[in-house]
Structure 1
Amino acid sequence: MNRPNLSPGLLALALCAALAGCAVGPDYKRPQVAVPAAFKEGEGWRMAQPADLQNHGQWWSLYSDPTLNDLQQRLLKANQTLAESEASYRQSVALVKGARASFFPSVTGNVDKTRSGQGGSSSNVRLADGSTVSSGGSGGVSNSYSASLGVSWELDLWGKLRRQLEADSATRDASAADLAASRLSLQSQLAQNYLQLRVMDQQIKLLNDTVEAYQRSLKLTENQYNAGIVTKADVAQARTQLKSTEAQAIDLKYQRAQLEHAIAVLVGLPPAQFSLAANGQVPRLPELPALVPSQLLERRPDIASAERKVISANAQIGVAKAAWFPDLTLSATGGYRSGSFQNWIETPNRYWSIGPQFAMTLFDGGLIASQVEQAEASYDQTVATYRQTVLDGFREVEDYMVQLKVLEEESGAQSEALDAAREALRLTTNQYKAGTVDYSNVVTTQTTALSNERSVLTLYGNRLVASVQLIAAMGGGWDSAQIASEGQKAKTP
């Protein structure tokens, strides 16, 4: 076989063109979004910036609750939804590795044996006496042994492989951001459930203490009835109030159990294997971090994910446009082929071939054009999704800011109402003991006081939950720079 006449200079030129070739398609630019200078609902509200929030995103430490800290660590280790997201991220990492592999030559090896046969032919021969006989030709069976090694390398002249790597890398980064968003959402759910449970413990304690007070009131009323001081109706009212409050306490136990079950599932345990005892404490309401709207673009993982999908869609336009240009592939094959096993691997039986190949589509009925249009439309779609995600992020922060402000004002008014209700209860109780009012007045003021006590606790719980939601809406201490820590950045060879 004649060796093809390949000039080393031409081969070097082809390699340089492959390495320095331009990548077709648009380079990525972040889509323009309207970013306000400050949050509307943050005006006049001075927020602190605790250093703890920047400590690896452990924002739940702001609540200074060791049990909550421990539960969050257990969630990271055992939550199955988080494990699912982590596995999805590892798939995207493997996808990038596959894209990077396309920059390198592909080497294949083959060893085979082939056995083939061919049937013989037959003909009729006339003898001297006029009779005929059949004459058969001999068939053949042969063996063929072959061993070969092949190398194929597609040179990235037009940047198709580089654009594909860019797209896959952006998809991987989007998956890393999705993993962070899933983690933040689960951590937020856990914190909200835990804080509500602790507030509910205080609600249950309040009702249990109230039941004990109402039992004493019932005993006092029964004694007064036996002494002929009050009527039987007063006893009935006292007993009704007692039993109604007992029922409220029982109902809270059911609600608490549901919260405990939800926490168990979040930390990866069956509800039967998990319990949280009441500790008589409610976590304090923390000072919240300061944030300007422009920082939200880097702090929220869902926004980071949406932008990485825009990057991927932008790169796919280049991949689609590269189909207009020819592909250059360098290939070489060599090996040994023989009909005898003993003489198989010998110099006379060797063979080889080497040469470049240009291939391109000359006519496809508009297929490539349609694929470019699809890629461009997909890019426009991801841009719209990104912009909407940014708007939703701004809205959520504004919502939780105004919610916290309103709840704070409401809590102040409710505390004043509670003070007034306690004073009214004290005065009415003294009047009842002095015999100047009947028991119905006591029941009314007791009910009002209990309602205000519960409202104060409910509002405090709502403020705790809203604070968690605001921290999560701000990104929970996460930053888009942390995407790189999820795995090594893919680099174009």
Structure 2
Amino acid sequence: MFAFTGAGCKSVAGPDYKSPDAPQKADWVGGTELADIAAAKKAIEPNWWHGFSDPYLNQLIDRAIDGDFNLKILALRLEQAGLGIEDAENLRKPTVNFQAGGSFQKQSGQASTESYTQSTGLNWELDIWGKAKKAVNAKEAEYKASEADWRAAYLTLVSSVATRYFEILQFDEQIRNQAATLEHNEKLLRIYTAQLREGLVPESRLLSQRAEINTLQRDRLELERQRREAEFTLATLIGVPAGSVKVPGGRLTDKVKILDIPAGLPSELLKRRPDILSKEYRVLAAHNLLGEARLAQLPKISLTASAGSASNMLSSLLKTWTFGLAPSISIPIFDPSIKTNIKSKTVDMKVAEEEYRSTVVKAYEEVETALLNVSYRKQQKEELRKQIANLRVVRNVQYAQLEEGLVSQLEVFETDRSLLGAQQSLLTTHQQILADMVNLYKALGGGWPAEVVSQE
């Protein structure tokens, strides 16, 4: 019997836990130049968003961490998972109950009778095979998975707040660009109005200029609408009603510093990303539940003990005692539900393993995409700067020629539209670079410490 409880029992429970096989990468491909730079940088700091050097952003993120409802819900689920461990531990302990009672009878013509009883009982299923311990291990793994879920939600929240804040500052600068272009076109309108009085231009030119101003005004209103909508979303992320947050105006290119590329190799990703750790801990939980199901094939040994006394008088109740001990063994000879449960838990573990592999592959994609986007968008930003410089020279020449009648209104329109479009694209690209930096830090684990999933 003892030989069976050792190596033989372990064989029934199945092999020790081993991390699932997953696709491997040796290095990053996207944005090769940046990936090379990353190797020389220090690892991600826990409060990595401080690197943007924007105190107001830091305040927003602090408020969001304190107020976000999703984080609070996940914290409560983590508490529930902790209670699940306690509940599973209780199943390994004996239960003791106490009962006491009395009865009184009186019949006509007879003396009254009374009796008193008290008893104590103990029930204990001995976990000699480790089946209950497997259940505890599964709950502990689920707790770790819930903890990783909270970290993943924390990282998503921080990233969302930062990205939305950058969008608001982008809209601020785009609104200013729109206002500056409007001012130029209103100046043109005054020129055409004066020329119309002198009969130098037809009225259609004046009407065309007013229509252009209408278009610019409409686009400005749309930018203002988008900014307010972004503030509503930001308020929800912080956990306050929409309209409660008013972000002060600012210049994206002046206020926010672009972060350095963080260090991080593909092999480190599996130990740092909360979502990957969450999936692997659920593989571990499934592994333990399968072991528990397999151990259910072994005999179940229980110990029942009772002690009590009975008396016709309360004063003598504790003078006499009876004690009983009843060990029992239950051997599952034929129980089809045990085999079915083993098959079900085997499938559950396979599903958990595939979900883990899928998360790993998706994580590689997110890092590669962020590196690629930062690399190419920095190049696009440089081309936009050159385009804007060239268009400004063209516009200045055209405005000088306009009063002399040497350039057409259509040419001025086209140059102004191209310049404004390039300026707005430059701001959008700058904001996208910042958002890609946020995505990269998030994709690399966001500063959470490395962690190895194992059976303790």
TM-score, structure 2 length as denominator? 0.91
Q: 5 Å matches for 1:144-183?
A: 144-183=115-154
SS at match of 2:23: coil
The AA in structure 2 aligned to 1:98 is D
| Structure 2 equivalent of residue 347 of structure 1 | 319
| Structure 1 equivalent of residue 391 of structure 2 | 421
The AA in structure 2 aligned to 1:319 is E
The AA in structure 2 aligned to 1:277 is P
| Structure 1 equivalent of residue 69 of structure 2 | 80
Q: 363, 372, 375: which is aligned to 1:393?
A: 363
Q: Deviations over 1:48-94 (max 9, x none)?
A: 4665832xx22221211111111111111111111111111111111
| Structure 1 equivalent of residue 289 of structure 2 | 316
The AA in structure 1 aligned to 2:319 is T
| Structure 1 equivalent of residue 308 of structure 2 | 335
SS at match of 1:41: coil
Following TM superposition, by how much is the alpha carbon of 1:473 offset from its aligned partner in structure 2, in angstroms? 1.4
SS at match of 1:329: strand
Following TM superposition, by how much is the alpha carbon of 1:168 offset from its aligned partner in structure 2, in angstroms? 1.0
Q: 32, 44, 47: which is aligned to 2:37?
A: 47
Following TM superposition, by how much is the alpha carbon of 1:408 offset from its aligned partner in structure 2, in angstroms? 1.9
Following TM superposition, by how much is the alpha carbon of 1:115 offset from its aligned partner in structure 2, in angstroms? 5.7
Q: Note if 1:267 corresponds to 2:257.
A: no
Following TM superposition, by how much is the alpha carbon of 1:223 offset from its aligned partner in structure 2, in angstroms? 2.2
Cα separation, 1, equivalents of 2:232 and 2:112: 75
Q: 277, 284, 300: which is aligned to 2:273?
A: 300
The AA in structure 1 aligned to 2:294 is K
Q: 406, 416, 420: which is aligned to 1:436?
A: 406
Following TM superposition, by how much is the alpha carbon of 1:439 offset from its aligned partner in structure 2, in angstroms? 2.7
Cα separation, 2, equivalents of 1:221 and 1:143: 117
The AA in structure 1 aligned to 2:33 is G
The AA in structure 2 aligned to 1:177 is A
The AA in structure 1 aligned to 2:44 is L
Higher mean displacement: 445-454 or 235-244:
235-244
Q: Note if 1:104 corresponds to 2:104.
A: no
Query: CA 1:20–1:141 in structure 2 vs 1: closer, same or farther (change >3 Å)?
Result: farther
| Structure 2 equivalent of residue 124 of structure 1 | none
Q: Note if 1:325 corresponds to 2:298.
A: yes
SS at match of 1:315: helix
Q: Deviations over 1:199-230 (max 9, x none)?
A: 11111111122222322222232223223343
Structure 2: runs of 5+ lacking an equivalent: none
Higher mean displacement: 86-95 or 17-26:
17-26
* Conserved 8 A contact 1:18-1:156: no
SS at match of 1:273: coil
Following TM superposition, by how much is the alpha carbon of 1:396 offset from its aligned partner in structure 2, in angstroms? 1.5
* Conserved 8 A contact 1:17-1:157: no
Structure 1: runs of 5+ lacking an equivalent: 1-12, 121-136, 484-488
The AA in structure 2 aligned to 1:433 is E
**CA radius of gyration, larger in:** 1
Following TM superposition, by how much is the alpha carbon of 1:21 offset from its aligned partner in structure 2, in angstroms? 9.6
Structure having the larger proportion of residues in helix: 2
| Structure 2 equivalent of residue 285 of structure 1 | 258
| Structure 1 equivalent of residue 171 of structure 2 | 200
Q: Note if 1:89 corresponds to 2:78.
A: yes
SS at match of 1:478: coil
Q: Note if 1:64 corresponds to 2:35.
A: no
Cα separation, 2, equivalents of 1:111 and 1:203: 81
* Conserved 8 A contact 1:52-1:59: no
* Conserved 8 A contact 1:237-1:443: no
Cα separation, 2, equivalents of 1:378 and 1:71: 41
Following TM superposition, by how much is the alpha carbon of 1:293 offset from its aligned partner in structure 2, in angstroms? 0.7
| Structure 1 equivalent of residue 193 of structure 2 | 222
* Conserved 8 A contact 2:44-2:441: no
* Conserved 8 A contact 1:39-1:398: yes
* Conserved 8 A contact 1:18-1:157: yes
* Conserved 8 A contact 2:105-2:112: yes
* Conserved 8 A contact 2:95-2:122: yes
Percent of aligned positions that are identical: 26
Cα separation, 1, equivalents of 2:23 and 2:369: 18
SS at match of 2:30: helix
Cα separation, 2, equivalents of 1:67 and 1:96: 41
The AA in structure 2 aligned to 1:265 is T
Cα separation, 1, equivalents of 2:28 and 2:187: 53
Q: Deviations over 1:84-140 (max 9, x none)?
A: 1111111111111222233333222223335679xx9xxxxxxxxxxxxxxxx9899
* Conserved 8 A contact 1:96-1:490: no
Cα separation, 1, equivalents of 2:4 and 2:105: 46
Query: CA 1:191–1:401 in structure 2 vs 1: closer, same or farther (change >3 Å)?
Result: same
| Structure 2 equivalent of residue 28 of structure 1 | 17
Following TM superposition, by how much is the alpha carbon of 1:407 offset from its aligned partner in structure 2, in angstroms? 1.6
The AA in structure 1 aligned to 2:219 is Q
Q: Deviations over 1:358-405 (max 9, x none)?
A: 2222222x2211211111121111111111111111112112222222
Query: CA 1:393–1:280 in structure 2 vs 1: closer, same or farther (change >3 Å)?
Result: closer
| Structure 2 equivalent of residue 383 of structure 1 | 353
* Conserved 8 A contact 1:171-1:309: yes
Following TM superposition, by how much is the alpha carbon of 1:266 offset from its aligned partner in structure 2, in angstroms? 0.8
Query: CA 1:42–1:441 in structure 2 vs 1: closer, same or farther (change >3 Å)?
Result: closer
Following TM superposition, by how much is the alpha carbon of 1:38 offset from its aligned partner in structure 2, in angstroms? 0.5
Following TM superposition, by how much is the alpha carbon of 1:351 offset from its aligned partner in structure 2, in angstroms? 2.0
| Structure 2 equivalent of residue 410 of structure 1 | 380
Higher mean displacement: 440-449 or 17-26:
17-26
Cα separation, 2, equivalents of 1:385 and 1:375: 15
Following TM superposition, by how much is the alpha carbon of 1:144 offset from its aligned partner in structure 2, in angstroms? 4.0
Higher mean displacement: 64-73 or 148-157:
148-157
SS at match of 1:167: helix
Cα separation, 2, equivalents of 1:47 and 1:147: 78
| Structure 2 equivalent of residue 190 of structure 1 | 161
